[in-house]
Amino acid sequence: MSGLSTYEPKSGLTRWLDKRLPIIRLAHDSFVAYPTPRNLNYFWTFGAMLSLCLVVQIVTGIVLAMHYTPHVDHAFASVQRIDRDVPFGWLIQNIHSVGASMFFLAVYIHMFRGLYYGSYKAPREVLWILGCIIYLLMVVTGFLGYTLPWGQMSFWGATVITNILGAVPFVGESIQVWIRGGGSIDQPTLSRFFSLHYLLPFVIAGVVALHVWALHEAGQNNPAGVDVKSKADTVPFTPYATIKDLFAVILFVILFATFVFFMPNALGHADNYIPANPLQTPPEIVPEWYLLPFYAILRAFDFNIGPIDSKLAGVIGMFASIAVLFVLPWIDTSRVRSMRYRPIARQFFLIFVVACLILGWCGGQNPGLILAKPADFSATLTWVSGGEVRSEQFTAPSEGEYEEFAQAQRDRLAEQGATMTSITRENARTATITGVFGGTQSTETVTGATPDAMEEAITHAKEEVGSGAAFFSVERRSPYTFTVTTLSQIATFYYFFFFLVLLPLLGLREKPGRVPDTIAKPVLTEQGAA
């Protein structure tokens, strides 16, 4: 909206209106005459798709709310009724649930576009932050909406996420109860989630208006990342951007429709077709695909950091991964916007994209799943067959002296010629010591691919020996294992390393390639050469 308006009302009516409410002028200046950089590529069409997604979600959502019942006893059935009985309910419900996924797919590409081409740098910091706010609102709205069908994943996802808030020190539990409206996820929770899920899209629409306003004030960034310097650098929004956006939107809608009509459940979890049951936990609780990277970061922290326990550390890590985006404009020190002219940063950026995809994959896996290990888990069993077994009870003089006293008992039996000894503690002071005298000592080593398989092998080996041995001594050896958690720890580390170390340092040290003086120059040169 910077620059002079070129709108000229043609008819008497529009002239009359223009004096009173220049709304046609606003639309003309924003979407017709608006100058767009002439070198925009197809990554600049995702804004149009996202606008479409927001409209689609609001329209389908309003319709669904006419048929949905936000009650713990009826919510699941009412969604099934929409799918089966309501005329075209199946279509509208599928569009809404697939639409959420499409919305996130588009927003992620839109965000990576912004990261690659430096669209967050001056003078577009506020534009970028507004975008981060929209994304955060989308995450909350998506989470609230996923609770509404009241399936097992809805219920347990909500339980896990609200439990996460309980990790906040001091006030965590109060916040948790406040959000749930009770001790657990129940009717009050469902009612308020429905209300907020209806409200937030309109808040998003409001922030989108600010986002577009900020965009039109600062002007669009472009693949070269250089400022618009003259009229030669731009083309009018209509028809150039409008037609290009329309074409991209058509491709997007084809993908959208493919999911809606041919695989509406491909992106959801089968367990959400089981009605919510507070007494039964599903075997594995996973969020929707678009939140998996953050879920992986949450679970990557399986160790305590000083006074911060692992649970809180995971929560901090997860929130920090989004918070870091808000301060990105001030973290990246490079004065070159587009990574097209940043040969080193570009490679680290590609690794960053891979790290995000890895996090997404890890989020959907069992965290204990072993991906690689140098050797099997093994255990050595030692037992004595034959020989004489003697048991006796002993009482230590006091609880504090127990360990010492027990060791003395062991030593005493060993001196008497016991081949093996075993102690079973009964209470604070008394225990039974069993010793085997004579007999032959045997050992056996068993292995297993997982700790459980090894335990099974141990049980099996014990059964084979049977009553031939009074007791066994078992020495277990665990190899180093590379699990899904390890992989997500590496990816999480890189995620933060990229933002907090690489971007600030590279901006100072990297020697950028030659940035063109104007947008028009390289474009026109290419055209001339062709």
Partner 1 sequence: MAEPAANAHQGDDTTRRDFIFIAAGAASAVGVAATVWPFIDQMNPAADTRALSTTEVDLSAVVLGQQIKVMWQGKPVFVRHRTADEIGRAQRDDFATLKDPQSDAERLVQEDGAAGRPEWIVLQASCTHLGCVPTFVEGSSFGGWFCPCHGSDYDTSGRIRRGPAPANLPPAPYVYLNETSIRIG
Select from 3, 239, 368, 386 the one that contacts partner 1 (CB under 8 A): 368
User: Applying CB under 8 A, which part among 143-151, 171-179, 222-230, 232-240 lies near partner 1?
Assistant: 171-179
Amino acid 405 reads: F
> Is residue 325 at the binding interface for partner 1, with CB under 8 A as the rule?
no
> Is residue 179 at the binding interface for partner 1, with CB under 8 A as the rule?
yes
Shortest gap between Cβ of 104 and partner 1 (angstroms)? Answer: 23
Question: DSSP letters of 416-478?
Answer: TTEEEEEEEE-SSSEEEEEEEESSEEEEEEEEESSHHHHHHHHHHHHHHHGGGEEEEEEEEEP
> Is residue 430 at the binding interface for partner 1, with CB under 8 A as the rule?
no
Residue 155 and residue 276 in contact, taking contact as beta carbons nearer than 8 Å: yes
Shortest gap between Cβ of 283 and partner 1 (angstroms)? Answer: 5
Q: Which of residues 136-165 bind partner 1 (CB under 8 A)?
A: 156, 159-160, 163-164
Q: Which of residues 274-293 bind partner 1 (CB under 8 A)?
A: 278-285
Select 220 or 488, whichever has its Cβ closest to partner 1: 488
The secondary structure of residue 275, as a DSSP letter, is: B
Shortest gap between Cβ of 453 and partner 1 (angstroms)? Answer: 13
Strands 469-477 and 377-385: antiparallel
Shortest gap between Cβ of 418 and partner 1 (angstroms)? Answer: 23
Instruction: Measure the CA–CA gap between 227 and 221, rounded to whole angstroms.
Output: 8
Strands 418-425 and 388-395: unpaired
User: Applying CB under 8 A, which part among 21-29, 218-226, 308-316, 322-330 lies near partner 1?
Assistant: 308-316
Instruction: Measure the CA–CA gap between 136 and 181, rounded to whole angstroms.
Output: 23
Whole-number Cα distances in Å, 181 to 149, 160, 174, 193: 19, 16, 10, 11
> Is residue 71 at the binding interface for partner 1, with CB under 8 A as the rule?
no
Shortest gap between Cβ of 297 and partner 1 (angstroms)? Answer: 15
Select 309 or 444, whichever has its Cβ closest to partner 1: 309
Select from 71, 81, 311, 410 the one that contacts partner 1 (CB under 8 A): 311
Shortest gap between Cβ of 309 and partner 1 (angstroms)? Answer: 6
**Sheet hosting strand 469-477, strand order edge to edge:** 440-448, 377-385, 469-477
Select 100 or 315, whichever has its Cβ closest to partner 1: 315
User: Token pair 């066994």 is at which residue?
Assistant: 472
Instruction: Measure the CA–CA gap between 181 and 162, rounded to whole angstroms.
Output: 11
Centre a 10 Å sphere on the Cβ of residue 371 and count the other Cβ atoms it contains. 13
> Is residue 126 at the binding interface for partner 1, with CB under 8 A as the rule?
no
Scored b (16 or more CB within 10 A) or e, 389-418 reads beeeeeebeeeeebeebbeebeeebeeeeb
Q: Which of residues 183-212 bind partner 1 (CB under 8 A)?
A: 183-186, 188, 192
User: Token pair 């000083």 is at which residue?
Assistant: 306
> Is residue 387 at the binding interface for partner 1, with CB under 8 A as the rule?
no
Shortest gap between Cβ of 384 and partner 1 (angstroms)? Answer: 24
Select 158 or 413, whichever has its Cβ closest to partner 1: 158
Select from 32, 59, 177, 490 the one that contacts partner 1 (CB under 8 A): 177
Kindly state the number of chain residues that form the binding site for partner 1, as judged by CB under 8 A.
36
Instruction: Measure the CA–CA gap between 438 and 440, rounded to whole angstroms.
Output: 7
> Is residue 434 at the binding interface for partner 1, with CB under 8 A as the rule?
no
> Is residue 123 at the binding interface for partner 1, with CB under 8 A as the rule?
no
| Calculated CA dihedral for residues 288, 293, 298, 300, nearest 10 degrees | 130
Select from 18, 83, 227, 302 the one that contacts partner 1 (CB under 8 A): 302
Select from 16, 88, 178, 247 the one that contacts partner 1 (CB under 8 A): 178
Which sign, positive or negative, has the C-alpha torsion 82, 84, 85, 91? positive
Shortest gap between Cβ of 302 and partner 1 (angstroms)? Answer: 6
User: Token pair 């900020």 is at which residue?
Assistant: 214
Binding mask 389-428 for partner 1 (x = CB under 8 A): -----------------------------------xxxxx
Footprint of partner 1 (CB under 8 A): 156, 159-160, 163-164, 177-179, 181-186, 188, 192, 278-285, 302, 309-311, 367-368, 424-428, 455
